[in-house]
Amino acid sequence: MAEINVVCICGSLRKASYNRMVMNALPGLAPAGMSIKEAPPFADFPLYNMDLQDASGVPPSVQKLADAIRAADGVIFNTPEYNFSIPGGLKNAIDWISRVPNQPLAGKPVAIQSATNGPLGGGRMQYDLRRAMIFLDALTFGKPEIFIGNASTRIDAKTGEITDKQTVEFIRQQLAAFAKFIERYGGKQ
């Protein structure tokens, strides 16, 4: 297969985000033939309101992210868990993307990685994100799963390096398996 292009969406907006650190490490852990880059940001998306969409259409920043998802062979969500679920900003972004005509997550291979300072590493959020992806007809990748619990003990907050070797190995394995998943089931719209 030709080069596999994956875009990542970081669910945390804070500068020193552990999830962003994990996202930044991915290009160095990807198998040969898989390129990984960050998707356009959602930080300036307005709160979803159908009246707004009816009056002004899809905002340009939403369209930009939707186009990047459509053009990619796969999407990786790198996100924390907020209050046992999907962070509000990310959920708002998904809600906007879901209302773009010919919504781009349909048929799209999607993988999930989460890092939290809690011990479960975002497991509860992942159930909710998987449910949203089911409604959007995304092809959500199964195993291996990435839950980075107690993130501050596994990631060096100063350098951004993932210091826990097992975590690095799990991510490498997930990316290799995700590449195979994309080759088998993927396909751009």
Q: Contact positions toward ligand FMN, by CB under 6 A? A: 12, 14, 17-19, 80-84, 115-118, 120, 151
Q: How far apart are CA 110 and CA 146, in angstroms?
A: 13
Q: How far apart are the first and last CA of the chain?
A: 17
Q: Closest by alpha carbon to 9, among 121, 99, 106, 129?
A: 129
Q: Specify the residue, 80 or 109, whose C-beta has the smaller distance to ligand FMN.
A: 80
Asked if 104 and 138 touch (Cβ cutoff 8 Å), the reply is no
- What's the closest the beta carbon of residue 18 comes to ligand FMN, in angstroms? 4
- What's the closest the beta carbon of residue 75 comes to ligand FMN, in angstroms? 18
- What's the closest the beta carbon of residue 181 comes to ligand FMN, in angstroms? 25
Looking at residue 16, the DSSP 8-state letter turns out to be: T
Q: Specify the residue, 95 or 128, whose C-beta has the smaller distance to ligand FMN.
A: 128
Name the residue with the smallest CB distance to ligand FMN. Answer: 118
Element (H, E) at 60: helix 60-71
- What's the closest the beta carbon of residue 118 comes to ligand FMN, in angstroms? 2
Q: Specify the residue, 152 or 189, whose C-beta has the smaller distance to ligand FMN.
A: 152
Q: List, as one string, the DSSP characters of 98-146.
A: HTSSS-TTTT-EEEEEEE-SSTTTTHHHHHHHHHHHHHTT-EE--SS-E
- In a 3-state reduction of DSSP, which class is residue 84? coil
Q: Specify the residue, 45 or 82, whose C-beta has the smaller distance to ligand FMN.
A: 82
- What's the closest the beta carbon of residue 107 comes to ligand FMN, in angstroms? 28
Q: How far apart are CA 161 and CA 29, in angstroms?
A: 12
Q: Specify the residue, 21 or 182, whose C-beta has the smaller distance to ligand FMN.
A: 21
Q: Specify the residue, 1 or 13, whose C-beta has the smaller distance to ligand FMN.
A: 13
Strand-pairing partners, residue 35, are 5
Q: How far apart are CA 131 and CA 83, in angstroms?
A: 17
- What's the closest the beta carbon of residue 60 comes to ligand FMN, in angstroms? 26
